[in-house]
Structures are given as structure tokens and as C-alpha cells.
Amino acid sequence: MLKKILRIIFLLIISIEIIALILFFARPHFSTRNIQKSKSEAISLLPDSCEEYVTHANQLNDSVRNYLEQSYLSGIGILKYYREIKPKIDSGKLVLIENNRHYLLDTMYYSYPFLTVKSADLLNEIGEKFHQKLKNTHLKKTKFIVTSLLRTVSSITRLRKRNRNAIKYSSHLHGTSFDISYDEFDNPKKLSAAEFEYLKEILAQSIFELRNEEKCWATHERWQTCFHVVSR
């Protein structure tokens, strides 16, 4: 009798083990789920420094829809021809922009070196910030390059013949906008690729801070390698 009971218990244990083995191999995701969970927990614990670095340049992403109307309202209207600029200067609506200790003007074929007073102040403020940030570095003598300022309908038409991507309804028509190059800087010494990258980021940071203070809108233009800035 005892022998029979022991045999039944033995068969029972064997059957349980067989069922457990079948379950384990038939549904393997049961076993990997915990591994995946611990993996994602580990990733969530990684320090911030392991995340992809977001540059200030990439955060300058205002679209023309955000500001075109406000730019028009705070600007000088739209000028058709170059000859219409002088009356705006005489009435104090536009001021001449010239090279100074912070920046140089590029040779401009499709724009004129004028801005509204508020926009000229903004450009100077960017210049001040940029130099303040470089003050204690070996790059302190660097000047940035302004590549575009006021445009007229006539100059935009000429530009569009050359560059079909140029926007017809540009805020450059309002005297509120300017472009600053980020792949060209003026410096007594020859700059390395790393120094160019650094200067681009310092320039972007200067603009970014003023954008946070709601003094401007700004866009990182990839095609034209410049920061397009609109005073606010």
C-alpha cells in the first residue's frame, strides 16, 4: 500500500515539472519582460549628461507665422524702392547701421543698411552680450558679421530671381529684421572648426537670452547659414 502511495506522489512531481517546463518554453516573453523592465529603469536612472546635448542654435525656431503681422505693425510699412528710404530716415523712423566694435556689415547686394530704432538697439544689445561672453577668452576680439538688413519690394524681386527660396513676404521689408552669419566671424587670427562652433553657440546664446526676455523672435536658418532676428 505504502509503495503504491509513493509511486503516485513520484508521478505527481514528475507531471508538475513537465507542465512547468512546457510553460517556460512555450511563453518565453514572460521571462524577458522583467529584463526589459529593469533595462528601462536603468536608462531612467542615467544622469542628464548622457542625454543628447541641445544647442541654443537649435532652439531658435520661430516661424514666420509667429511674427509677420506684429513685425509689419511695429515696422515702417513696406517700401517699394530705394528712393523711399530717405524720407523714413529724415522722419527718424530708420537709422543707418554701420560697422562698429561688435560687428561688421557684409557686402549687401539685396538689402540696405537701415533698421528701425528699436531693431538697431536690439542688434547693439546682441553685440554687447556676445562680447561680454567672450571677454575672458582668447576670442575676445571677434566680431560677428551682419549679412542682411532692410529690403525693399524691388530688392526682394531681384533676390528671388537668384534664390527662389527667398520669402516674398519677408519681415526684412519692415525694417525690423536682420541676419547674422554663424559660419563667418571676423578675428585677427585664423579660427579653427571648433572655435567656429563655439562662436556660433555663444552668438546663439546671446540671441536666445534676448528672445527669452521677449525682445525678439529668431530663427536658425540652415540654408542661408545665419540667424534671422526680428525685433519684438
CB of 130 to Zn ion, least distance (A): 18
Do residues 229 and 120 lie in contact, with contact meaning Cβ atoms separated by under 8 Å? no
CB of 114 to Zn ion, least distance (A): 14
β-pair type (143-148, 226-231): unpaired
CB of 68 to Zn ion, least distance (A): 12
| 3-state secondary structure labels for all residues of 22-79 | HHHHHCCHHHHHHHHHHHHHHHHCCCHHHCCCCCHHHHCECCHHHHHHHHHHHCCCCC
Cβ distance to Zn ion smaller for residue 139 or 204 = 204
Q: Please report, for residues 38, 122, 161, the alpha-carbon distance to residue 207 in angstroms, rounded to integers and kept in the order given.
A: 42, 9, 31
CB of 92 to Zn ion, least distance (A): 24
* The amino acid at 189: K
Cβ distance to Zn ion smaller for residue 83 or 168 = 168
Helix-helix angle 117-134:193-212, to 10 degrees = 130
Cβ distance to Zn ion smaller for residue 102 or 228 = 228
Residues interacting with Zn ion, by CB under 5 A? 179, 228
For 53-69, give one letter per residue: b (16+ CB within 10 A) or e: eeebbeebebeeeebbe
Cβ distance to Zn ion smaller for residue 134 or 218 = 218
Q: Of all residues in this chain, which one has the CB nearest to Zn ion in the complex?
A: 228
Cβ distance to Zn ion smaller for residue 133 or 228 = 228
CB of 86 to Zn ion, least distance (A): 23
Cβ distance to Zn ion smaller for residue 187 or 224 = 224
CB of 193 to Zn ion, least distance (A): 25
Q: 205: burial class by Cβ within 10 Å (0-12, 13-18, 19+)? A: middle
Backbone angles phi, psi at 148, to 5 degrees: -155, 145
The total number of residues written for the chain in this structure: 232
